[in-house]
A and B are shown apart, each in its own frame.
Chain A
Amino acid sequence: MKRLQILGTGCPKCKKLAENAEAAAKALDLDCEIEKVTDINEIMKFGVMITPALAIDGQIKAVGKVPSPDEIKQMLG
């Protein structure tokens, strides 16, 4: 099972990223868990300063931008 984490304090871009991640996971029919990390100190532990960011299984995959569902699919694949 994959673990997707959306890092962001709740700005509109973070919500968009969460939507895209869900869409990507659904399209791949993947068994995964999507978690939103909103606490700023938790976000710092990933080394991320520019939100939103996407982590897959604890690995940062995108920082400071909203990847499209297709791009997320490639990261998951």
Chain B
Amino acid sequence: MDWKNEWKKLALIVGVFGACFYLPVGLARFDRAIMESLHLVKWYAREHVLLCLVPAFFIAGAISVFVSQASVMKYLGARANKVLAYGVASVSGSILAVCSCTILPLFAGIYKMGAGLGPATAFLYSGPAINILAIILTARILGLQIGIARAVGAILFSVIIGLLMHLIYRKEETEKANIQMAAPEPEVKRPLWKNALYFASMVGILVFANWARSGDVRAIFLCCPGGLSTYQVEGKLISQTDETVTIVDTEGKKHQIAAELMQGAEDVRKNNLYEWIHRSRWILVGVLLVAFAFMVSVWFAPSERAEWVGASWGFAKQILPLLFFGVLTAGLLLGRPGPGHEGLIPTAWVNAAVGGNSIWSNLFAAIAGAFMYFATLTEVPILQGLLGAGMGKGPALALLLAGPALSLPNMLVIRSVMGTQKTIVFVTLVIVMATLSGIIFGTFF
């Protein structure tokens, strides 16, 4: 036998054996965590895949095929207007970075042959946070408020980070690599209004299909006994005794929560338009679907349709497995949101580390996010678990802003592009800015 090659396999087998030997089956916390993770996967499958993820894949596919990347790139070139370059760099992630693996080459390109250090770092910070799939999933699962805060925070702070980087290194003459940018050939021309209508109808379908019912009451609970953070359940109050409060939320899920955790409840003010949209949401979706089918069949050439479906399918293939394992892991480690749904990690730990809205919990979340690697979009289920386990909203935003923008592996790539010193400055700025936006968000919401 050739031990030089076989020892790895032996080590693997011994490792797996050891893990099986000491498998904590039967331990209450472990068994419950397994059930939590299965429940969470089922909940995602029932609530989020058909109405939210599937339309989102088609939208992302459409953006990657029909929006001309070349037309955006010209605003980030070497001779571009500097002020405009910051603005474009901070928002273009939603168009250019539909897949997170394209972020780093674009960043390196903008830095070396385009508009320079400032716009490049602005793009690097905001890109992963504002890609269309990330925004849709964040808003759907973590709530509209945090979804909007993530997009707005990423755009605003990316400009600040870009400008600071530029100011810190303004004396340094960047020798522009004298290379011609190889832009992709422009796509088939279609009048702008046709493209706009096409995208608007898709977004409309996504929004109306997910229009939630509004509840009667909104109850506020502590995340755990003695916890620092609260969370809300909106729905219908079924019963309230001295021990437990039972609420059926707007998605039809029943929550039984210990009465001692309840902080208060308020009636939800009914908005007529909101209710009307909820009642007629399937009619609205139907009308939009017909209009959409008409546009796709009349305005688009068969080859374009095939390309669009192909790109959407590509996203689905790439992202669904990642998300599946992300949800399983989040469920196993953190459980479903709410008391009584603990995973392997005790809520008290989460609450102690990132509960409330102190500087420390925000800073901790920002640093952890900066170094941790999140596979595309898995930050969302993990954040959902953390929020349910007692993380404050501020630290959650801090983690969302620092997390996808940076990770240990991509820091190494960034370092190879712009050197150690600039990388350290950039990472520090990201952590500081993410912490700040977390504190601001946590204070106001």
Contact at A63–B112, with CB atoms within 8 Å?
Answer: no
**Chain A stretch 44-71: residues in CB contact (< 8 A) with chain B:** 44-51, 53, 60, 63-65
Query: What range describes how many residues of B lie at the interface?
Result: 20 to 34
With CB as the reference atom, state the residue of chain A lying closest to B414. Answer: A40
CA distance A55 to B429 in the complex (A): 37
CA distance A64 to B183 in the complex (A): 8
With CB as the reference atom, state the residue of chain A lying closest to B187. Answer: A65
Contact at B102–A47, with CB atoms within 8 Å?
Answer: no
CA distance A48 to B108 in the complex (A): 10
What residues of chain A lie closer than 8 Å to B19, measured between beta carbons? none
Contact at A12–B318, with CB atoms within 8 Å?
Answer: yes
CA distance A29 to B37 in the complex (A): 51
What residues of chain A lie closer than 8 Å to B239, measured between beta carbons? none
With CB as the reference atom, state the residue of chain A lying closest to B99. Answer: A11
For the residues of B in contact with A, the DSSP-based class is helix
Contact at A48–B318, with CB atoms within 8 Å?
Answer: no
Contact at B105–A49, with CB atoms within 8 Å?
Answer: yes
CA distance A44 to B110 in the complex (A): 10
Contact at A44–B102, with CB atoms within 8 Å?
Answer: no
B101 sits at the interface (CB 8 A): yes
What residues of chain A lie closer than 8 Å to B105, measured between beta carbons? 9, 40, 43-44, 48-51
**Chain B stretch 177-215: residues in CB contact (< 8 A) with chain A:** 177, 179-185
Contact at B182–A40, with CB atoms within 8 Å?
Answer: no
Contact at A63–B416, with CB atoms within 8 Å?
Answer: no
Contact at A9–B69, with CB atoms within 8 Å?
Answer: no
CA distance A11 to B318 in the complex (A): 10
Contact at A40–B314, with CB atoms within 8 Å?
Answer: no
Give the A-B pair count, Cβ closer than 8 A.
73
A74 sits at the interface (CB 8 A): no
Contact at B182–A46, with CB atoms within 8 Å?
Answer: yes
What residues of chain A lie closer than 8 Å to B417, measured between beta carbons? 40-41
Contact at A40–B184, with CB atoms within 8 Å?
Answer: no
**Contact among A9, A39, A60 for B182, CB-based, below 8 A:** A60
A13 sits at the interface (CB 8 A): yes
Query: What range describes how many residues of A lie at the interface?
Result: 20 to 34
**Contact among B106, B112, B180, B314 for A50, CB-based, below 8 A:** B106
Quick one: which of B112, B182, B183, B185 has the most chain A CB within 10 A?
B182
With CB as the reference atom, state the residue of chain B lying closest to A61. Answer: B182
With CB as the reference atom, state the residue of chain B lying closest to A53. Answer: B182
Task: Write the nearest CB–CB distance from B148 to chain A, whole angstroms.
Answer: 28
What residues of chain A lie closer than 8 Å to B416, measured between beta carbons? 39-41
What residues of chain B lie closer than 8 Å to A60, measured between beta carbons? 182
What residues of chain B lie closer than 8 Å to A50, measured between beta carbons? 69, 73, 96, 102, 105-106, 184
What residues of chain B lie closer than 8 Å to A13, measured between beta carbons? 99, 314
B109 sits at the interface (CB 8 A): yes
CA distance A70 to B350 in the complex (A): 54
**Chain A stretch 3-32: residues in CB contact (< 8 A) with chain B:** 9-13
What residues of chain B lie closer than 8 Å to A53, measured between beta carbons? 182
What residues of chain B lie closer than 8 Å to A9, measured between beta carbons? 101, 104-105, 413
With CB as the reference atom, state the residue of chain B lying closest to A40. Answer: B108
Known: A40-B105, A41-B417. A49 touches B110 (CB 8 A): yes
Task: Write the nearest CB–CB distance from B248 to chain A, whole angstroms.
Answer: 42
What residues of chain A lie closer than 8 Å to B106, measured between beta carbons? 49-50
**Contact among B69, B96, B314 for A12, CB-based, below 8 A:** B314
B113 sits at the interface (CB 8 A): yes
Contact at A64–B184, with CB atoms within 8 Å?
Answer: yes
Task: Write the nearest CB–CB distance from A49 to chain B, whole angstroms.
Answer: 3
Task: Write the nearest CB–CB distance from B76 to chain A, whole angstroms.
Answer: 9
Contact at B177–A44, with CB atoms within 8 Å?
Answer: yes
Contact at A47–B314, with CB atoms within 8 Å?
Answer: no
CA distance A10 to B181 in the complex (A): 21
Ranked 6 nearest A-B pairs via Cβ: A49-B109, A11-B101, A64-B184, A47-B182, A47-B179, A63-B184
| Additional A-B contacts beyond A13-B314, A40-B413, A46-B182 (18; CB < 8 A) | A9-B104, A9-B105, A11-B99, A12-B318, A39-B416, A40-B104, A40-B108, A40-B417, A44-B105, A44-B112, A45-B179, A47-B182, A49-B181, A50-B106, A51-B101, A63-B184, A64-B184, A65-B184
Q: Give 14 A-B contacts (CB < 8 Å), ordered by A residue.
A: A9-B104, A11-B102, A12-B318, A40-B416, A41-B108, A44-B108, A44-B109, A46-B179, A49-B106, A49-B181, A49-B182, A50-B73, A50-B102, A64-B69
